[in-house]
Amino acid sequence: MEKRVTFSKWTIGILFAVPQLILIFTFFYWPAGQAVYWSLTLQQPWGGGNIWVGLDNFRSILANPDYWRSVSASLVFAGISTGLAMFIALVLAALTDRQLAGSWLYRVVLIWPYGIAAPALALAFRFILAPEAGFLSVVNQMWPGIWDPGLDGTDAMASIIVAFSWKYVGYNFIFFLAAFQAIPRSLIEAAAMDGSGVIRRFWDIQFPLITPTIFFLLVINITESFQDSFGIVDIMTSGGPANATNLMVYKIYSDGFKGLDYSGAAAQSIILMLLIILLTIFQFRFLERRVHYR
């Protein structure tokens, strides 16, 4: 028998919900509403209220090549870091699932990076990847000047990708491992009896059966790469050099708080929000259907 807690009066139920509702309204709907308002108006330089400008802010952003460079940098970042974080996690989880000795240790150790705040790990990677003193300074000794994230846009992009992927490998690993372990052992054994080797079993049995997890992580990783990258970019590159790592989420901040273009920044955040909403809806509506067996 299922037991449910029921409230004699609906008012008590509402009271329990109120704290959560206040939080959501204060920290999501109210700022989001403000952002919409700002994005449709223009602040006067010397005060005196906002002027209604309709979609002008959006038009000027979309006409700006700087914005499109930021979009393409974000897409490159999302694509490579998601791919890297998921691929490494998948390999580690597949190996751990085979119950190699000490696999419990990886499980614990690998979740830690996810618990580290992005700016903190970014600082760590800044030292690690520093061209003059970090681990990679070795390559500069051999080929001077080959690695310098401070000057080379590609190196800078590579640095933030490495830092972000490092954080999400642990997160993805936990989900992949759970997915692998949810596959009944007898399926793997049946495939082994059918003559299938380790690699073949992985592609024919395990991989198809974890596609729901792959899909889920794809959505999460891409979404997070649009948002959680902020701290990493801020500490490691500040969007440079020459805007090479000025991702959409960082450009909102730098245009708004450094350039003091609140209206333009608000419009950019609305675009980013819509992009993430669309991405999520698209992936869940159209892709999820293909990965269901049960």
Nearer to another protein, 47 or 197 (CB): 197
Of the candidates 193, 285, 289, 290, which one interacts with another protein according to CB under 8 A?
193
Between 209 and 220, CB nearer to another protein: 209
Q: Does 287 bind another protein (CB under 8 A)?
A: no
Shortest Å, Cβ 26 to another protein: 46
Instruction: Quickly count: other Cβ atoms within 10 Å of residue 285's Cβ.
Output: 9
Task: Please provide the distance, in angstroms rounded to a whole number, between the alpha carbons at the two ends of the chain.
Answer: 26
Which amino acid appears at position 113 of this protein?
P
Rounded Cα distance between 67 and 211, Å, is 34
Among 184, 242, 284, 287, binds another protein (CB under 8 A): 184
Amino acid at 196: S
* Beta carbon of residue 25, minimum distance to another protein (angstroms, whole number): 44
* Calculated CA dihedral for residues 36, 41, 44, 45, nearest 10 degrees: 60
For 249, half-sphere exposure in the C-beta direction (CA atoms, 13 angstrom radius) is 20
Minimum gap (Å) between residue 182 Cβ and another protein: 12
197: contact with another protein by CB under 8 A: yes
If binding is defined by CB under 8 A, does position 66 make contact with another protein? Answer: no
Number of residues that bind another protein (CB under 8 A): 19
Identity of residue 271: I
Taking the complex as a whole, how short is the minimal distance between the CB of residue 200 and another protein, in angstroms?
A: 6
Out of 192, 218, 220, 275, point to the residue binding another protein (CB under 8 A): 192
**Which of these ranges, 91-99, 137-145, 182-190, 263-271, lies near another protein under the rule CB under 8 A?**
182-190
Binding positions for another protein, 200-259, rule CB under 8 A: 200, 204-205, 208-209
CB of 104 to another protein, least distance (A): 16
Nearer Cβ to another protein, position 66 or 204?
A: 204
Residue type, 107: R
From residue 187, alpha-carbon distances to 118, 193, 195, 204 in Å are 40, 10, 13, 11
Of the candidates 116, 76, 31, the one whose C-alpha atom is nearest the C-alpha of residue 248 is 76
**Among positive and negative, which fits the CA dihedral 149, 235, 219, 116?**
positive
**Contacting another protein (CB under 8 A), which of 60, 103, 140, 196?**
196
Contacts 24+ apart (CB under 8 A), 289-294: 291/211, 291/212, 291/214, 291/215, 292/212, 293/209
According to DSSP, residue 285 is labeled I
State the residues that interact with another protein by CB under 8 A: 184, 186-187, 189-197, 200, 204-205, 208-209, 293-294
